[in-house]
Structure 1
């Protein structure tokens, strides 16, 4: 099937699912679309034995979609840039300390906790995997997904402080999560060889790991600022919104591809340059008309790709390698991930509350609002074939589906109860 035909089918399915959700289910668009896709996938699985080749044809269509390439090396560039350029950079600056601690320390600590507890849980179930493979699962499931979080938080009445903390953490921790995932992939030997100076599981060179982190993250920051300055100067010298939109589009795509080619953290690079334009470019480099059209363009890109991504997550059910024991392990992985998230958030926000005022119920809200999404599934699917891959993929899918559906649909209620049941408008004013 040609690329155009495949994309046409995906867009058509997304449009039909969105219409069905809007008319009948009336859930937030992304969650409703994913539910429609999940129900359709389950229906095909159930009727598969009675419908000659129907499920196989649908599964063949899904397998033609390289989820890893589509998400990590395609959609993510647009979605992260769209999220960053719409974020209130001033609020992020005010909350830089909790955001930095949650994104860096929280992600790394959660990786260790989830990895260790998952390793013990699987061993008790007789599904034991090497500890480095369990840590690999911890790395891919610990980052909160900026796509999933952003899509949900838009309609929830959180305080400005919490909104900034959730958005800021989710924008930055996925970049660190991808770096940690790649390092553990090398250390575990699943990729077949070491890279970037890191040896395989026979040794653990902390210095080499530190250098890789410095190169990937530090290099991404330098590249992002340089690209942002160039784009800022280009935008400042034109008074044409079509050219302005094209410059931002080239910036998101070109910077992500360049960072990828240089083995830098492409997600962090795109987020930083998006925040740079949001903070500095909007006020000093764009006319009102250009600012309005650029904002509308990226909002539309964000909405369309969000719907397509969540639909793809639902359709992936058709090719998931489920087994009964793995499903039990997936169910047990959910409280493990939530417990690790709570421990990290409480360990960071608790001490910070002694120094600066934090929103009421911040620990509970930040824990429950830490959704996982397509980035985790994409990383799990990128693991090369091995004895642990299918099990890790099942664990990831179970946690992601629970996170988006259960946490996504109840996060508003949790925020209202934890923050004292203030209305959305009142809560915003408190920030």
Structure 2
């Protein structure tokens, strides 16, 4: 059994050994240096949004280029950026699970809550086809390409694990780009809804192959049972939290702060209840919660509470996530280019998790 587990887990062990020596932050840096980068990212994001207003250059592309430039200056040259560089390195070495846990629930909730119900009803068939069979086809195609192309002697289970991880798309960046380019509402709804469902489906597929990599065997009946349990359980938890929180919102009168705080708190609690407590998909749970709010809870917000919630979540999503998600893979790429072959084995998995698949990522 030990020999069986060693082979599929080989890429992850090599990844840890290949990056552990380069993941430590500089001895001269302080935890407070991380705050400098947060302020810098906000200022750069504001400047890009202001200067590009009225142009056809997408805002998210400008943020991507800025993130690549900052990461390249800090990790790709011998010229350090001082305290700013120390802050960049602190954020680049942050635990990707922590980064996703902080940003992902709010981003998923805002994206699903902002969707229009009547548009979803018109496009639901296309969304389900793309997010269901489309993800499975993408997973097997990517897994086969990885198995046949990479010289690492991965098993099919490990290759399909990475294929499922890479099948997820980024709903935040895609939809923001469509809005910047003035795409039709129907197209935006299809891609946004498919992206959200795609993330949930890819997470479930990833969990399935992850269990297989760890040595757990599945027959077709067990696979169907696992997929149904993980997906339907997530939908049930999302609906339960949605109904309870909407009933609570009904007793709140003209207090926008409480409405926004309660909504965000419920999205985070639902995510961790599903992900850590019930061992089902937290992404599907928050997506279900947001869609339930979009369908049944819009009238529960009094005054400008709903609009304020949208603005707050968009602010969270706008700048730090883009720069953090870009600088982190930059640091890994330059470490790999400067390192040995051992580090190269884990690049796909590490960058995929570091960007949130992101977003998301996350």
Q: Which TM-score band applies after superposition, normalised by the shorter structure?
A: 0.7 to 0.9
Paired residue total: 326
Per the alignment, do residues 36 and 397 of structure 1 end up closer, same or farther by CA in structure 2, a change over 3 Å counting? same
8 A Cα contact 1:175 1:265, kept in partner: yes
TM-score (norm 2): 0.78
- Show the counterpart of 1:206: 220
1:90 aligns with 2:118: yes
State the shift of 1:109 in Å.
1.3
Please list every run of 5 or more consecutive structure 1 residues that lacks an aligned counterpart in the other structure.
328-384, 404-431
Describe the SS at the equivalent of 1:118: helix
Alignment of 1:94-173 (within 5 A): 94-122=122-150, 126-173=151-198
SS at match of 2:246: helix
Residue 243 of structure 2 corresponds to residue 229 of structure 1: yes
Query: In 1, are the aligned partners of 2:109 and 2:290 still within 8 Å (CA)?
Result: yes
- What is residue 29 of structure 1 aligned with on the other side? 59
Work out whether residues 228 and 277 of structure 1, in 8 Å CA contact, stay in contact via their aligned partners in 2: yes
User: In the alignment, does 2:61 pair up with 1:45?
Assistant: no
Distance 1:38 1:319 in 2: 12
2:43 counterpart residue number: 16
- Map of 1:180 onto structure 2: 205
**Which of 68, 78, 97 in structure 2 is aligned with 1:68?**
97
**In the alignment, which of 306, 309, 319 is matched to residue 332 of structure 2?**
319
Q: In 2 relative to 1, CA 309–394 (structure 1 residues): closer, same or farther, beyond 3 Å?
A: closer
RMSD, aligned CA = 3.6
Does the aligned pair in 2 maintain the 1:17–1:37 contact within 8 Å? no
Alignment equivalent of 1:286, drawn from 275, 287, 301? 301
Counterpart Cα distance in 2 of 1:54 and 1:242: 35
User: 1:55 & 1:14 partners in 2: Cα distance?
Assistant: 10
Task: Note the C-alpha offset of 1:312.
Answer: 0.8
CA 1:314–1:386 in 2, change beyond 3 Å: closer, same or farther? closer
Question: 1:298 aligned to 2:310?
Answer: yes
- Where do residues 320-335 of structure 1 align in structure 2 (5 Å cutoff)? 320=333, 321-323=335-337
Please say if residues 83 and 302 of structure 1, whose CA atoms lie closer than 8 Å, have aligned partners that are also in contact.
no
The whole-number CA distance in structure 1 between the counterparts of 2:178 and 2:318 is: 14
Checking the alignment, whether the CA contact within 8 Å between 1:89 and 1:278 is kept in structure 2 is yes
| Aligned residue in 2 for 1:330 | none
Q: Is the 8 A contact 1:21 1:33 kept in 2?
A: yes
**1: CA distance between counterparts of 2:343 and 2:235?**
34
Shift of 1:75: 0.9
2:36–2:83 Cα contact (<8 Å) kept: no
SS in 1 for 2:319: helix
Q: Retained in 2: the 8 A contact 1:100–1:169?
A: yes
Contact 2:241–2:289 under 8 Å retained in 1: yes
TM-score of the pair, normalised by structure 1: 0.66
In 2, the alpha carbon distance for the partners of 1:64 and 1:323 equals: 17
